[in-house]
Amino acid sequence: MKKIRVLSIFGTRPEAIKMCPLIKELNKYDKIESVVCVTGQHRQMLDQVLMNFEIMPDYDLNLMKEQQSLTSITASILLELEKLFPEINPDLVLVHGDTTTSATAALAAYYQQIPVGHVEAGLRTHNIYSPFPEEMNRKIISQIAELFFCPTESNKKNLERENIYKNIYITGNTVIDAFKYTVKKQYKFKNESLRKIEFDGFRVILMTAHRRENVGKPLENICRAAKRIVDENQDIQIICPVHLNPSVRDTIVSILENQERIHLIEPLDVDDMHNVMARSYLIMTDSGGLQEEGPYFGIPVVVLRTETERLEAIEAGTAKLAGVCEEAVYSMVRQLLNNRKEYRKMAQAVNPYGDGHASKKIVEAIIKWGQVL
Ligand code: UD1
Ligand code: UDP
């Protein structure tokens, strides 16, 4: 019997965290031959994830450049994949989400008429400049893809509004599958700085911010709000693993460095990250992934953006949209810290992102699709 050759392509930290559980699942099936290619759009932050999940890519394009532009990373991925596809000759290319790697890999596959499966399909803000360029990236992938793996029902509805009806599967989000590998009872942090932080007697806020549209003034506002929260609440500590993008680092460091009870640390590997999340009181973030992860742990999420494609979390009551003005962020966090009833309501809301079996559902759909090859 001919195997279905599935080529998974990813390049950044969040794609890797959400694709690794799926790759482990693909490896379990005789009917599938799984091949992994990383673009290296991220280097250190991608390698951290690959090490955690013990996944060794078959191909590594190693493309990251310091402060790369969208155009340069897009052009290099297109050119490299043009050469690689004939060598691998995949039956299906799998991409994830909305990064430059994902959209470009889908486009490169289309140019060689290779079918594309889209994991985490159907997310939309309906604003092509927020998140930028991710909203356009995922719209492009939707036009190209043949198989759509949607985390939730509302993602499916978004696709239907764009007249996409075929081969849509609601699977949950593979990030929930990842917890099976990362979250452990009695976990001991690997990161030295984390080990030194006192958790007992404190409420810990886990904060991350990195989005392109927040770089500059919005990120400054967010940092100032965070500083005020810590200054006014002696029982609050903020742990902020700082993204390696230099534009992000410069702002965060310039405002929050050397502040008592604010811990600026290097990007955490995903084991440490998920386990520190499990012990946090509140999350402040502009990250997509953290908006999905917080609800799993029952940790309220304050979203540091003006809109979100993860409306399920808002509707379920586990996340609130704060915007990016200093006063709005400050007031929302302050209110959650002071109002126990409101906090508990958010903490008890139900996780809308699935039961941790998304990868299995995706592989089963691929096998069914592959029968007609
Ligand atoms: C990218 C994705 C974004 C995703 C984010 C996750 C695009 C356009 N953006 O944004 O959707 O939310 O990843 O983190 O695809 N850098 C390093 N080492 C690393 C990673 C980044 O040094 O391991 C630095 C480099 O200078 C690099 C810069 O960060 O040029 C920006 O990286 P890039 O992937 O272009 O954008 P992100 O903002 O990380
Ligand atoms: N994450 C991590 N270490 C960190 C910060 C984040 O492992 O220091 C994980 C986080 O738990 C989530 C993913 O990275 O699974 C989110 O990635 P990121 O915020 O970079 O991108 P986004 O989700 O916004 O695309």
In the three-class reduction of DSSP (H, G, I as helix; E, B as strand; rest coil), residue 28 is classed as: coil
Predicted local distance difference test score (pLDDT) of residue 102: 98
pTM: 0.98
How do residues 318-338 score in pLDDT, each as one tens digit?
999 999 999 999 999 999 999
154: part of which helix (H) or strand (E)?
Answer: helix 153-161
Structure tokens at 272: 């440490």
Pocket test for ligand 1, best of 107, 244, 247, 252 (most atoms within 8 A of CB): 244
Predicted local distance difference test score (pLDDT) of residue 373: 73
Per CATH, the number for 192-347 is 3.40.50.2000
- What distance in Å separates the CA atoms of residue 290 and residue 166, rounded to the nearest whole number? 30
Predicted local distance difference test score (pLDDT) of residue 132: 96
**Percent over 90 (pLDDT), the chain:** 98
Using an 8 Å Cβ cutoff, are 61 and 77 in contact? yes
- 95 pLDDT exceeds 80? yes
Output the ligand 1 site: residues, CB below 6 A.
12-14, 41-45, 64-68, 70, 73, 98-100, 133-134, 210, 212, 244-246
Predicted local distance difference test score (pLDDT) of residue 157: 98
- What distance in Å separates the CA atoms of residue 142 and residue 148, rounded to the nearest whole number? 8
Structure tokens at 248: 């992000």
Name the active-site residue from 243, 261, 305, 310. Answer: 243
- What distance in Å separates the CA atoms of residue 206 and residue 301, rounded to the nearest whole number? 10
Name the active-site residue from 118, 210, 211, 310. Answer: 210
Closest atom, ligand 1, to C-alpha of 245: 29
Ligand nearest to the CA of 11: 1
Stretch 346-364: mean pLDDT: 96
CA nearest ligand 1 atom 2, residue: 99
Predicted local distance difference test score (pLDDT) of residue 76: 98
In the three-class reduction of DSSP (H, G, I as helix; E, B as strand; rest coil), residue 316 is classed as: helix
Domain borders along the chain are 4-173+355-370, 192-347
How do residues 22-67 score in pLDDT, each as one tens digit?
999 999 999 999 999 999 999 999 999 999 999 999 999 999 999 9
Stretch 272-299: mean pLDDT: 97
Q: Are 4-173+355-370 and 192-347 the same fold in CATH?
A: yes
Predicted local distance difference test score (pLDDT) of residue 119: 98
How do residues 234-276 score in pLDDT, each as one tens digit?
999 999 999 999 999 999 999 999 999 999 999 999 999 999 9
- 1 pLDDT exceeds 90? no
- What distance in Å separates the CA atoms of residue 178 and residue 347, rounded to the nearest whole number? 21
Predicted local distance difference test score (pLDDT) of residue 253: 98
How do residues 298-315 score in pLDDT, each as one tens digit?
999 999 999 999 999 999
Per DSSP (E only), the strands in 11-91 are 32-38, 59-60
25: part of which helix (H) or strand (E)?
Answer: helix 13-26
Domain 4-173+355-370 in CATH 3.40.50.2000? The answer is yes
Output the ligand 2 site: residues, CB below 6 A.
13-14, 17, 175, 208, 210, 241, 267-268, 270, 273-274, 287-290, 293
Per DSSP (E only), the strands in the chain are 4-10, 32-38, 59-60, 92-96, 116-119, 147-150, 168-170, 203-208, 236-241, 262-265, 282-285, 301-303, 319-321
| 115 CA from centroid of ligand 2 (Å) | 28
How do residues 101-143 score in pLDDT, each as one tens digit?
999 999 999 999 999 999 999 999 999 999 999 999 999 999 9
Name the active-site residue from 43, 203, 212, 357. Answer: 212
- 340 pLDDT exceeds 90? yes
User: With bands split at pLDDT 50, 70 and 90, how would you rate the model's confidence at 348?
Assistant: very high
Stretch 215-226: mean pLDDT: 98
Predicted local distance difference test score (pLDDT) of residue 158: 98
Question: What DSSP string describes 199-247?
Answer: -TT-EEEEEE---GGGTTHHHHHHHHHHHHHHHH-TTEEEEEEPPS-HH
Predicted local distance difference test score (pLDDT) of residue 372: 76
Question: What DSSP string describes 99-152?
Answer: SHHHHHHHHHHHHTT--EEEES-----S-TTSSTTHHHHHHHHHHH-SEEEESS
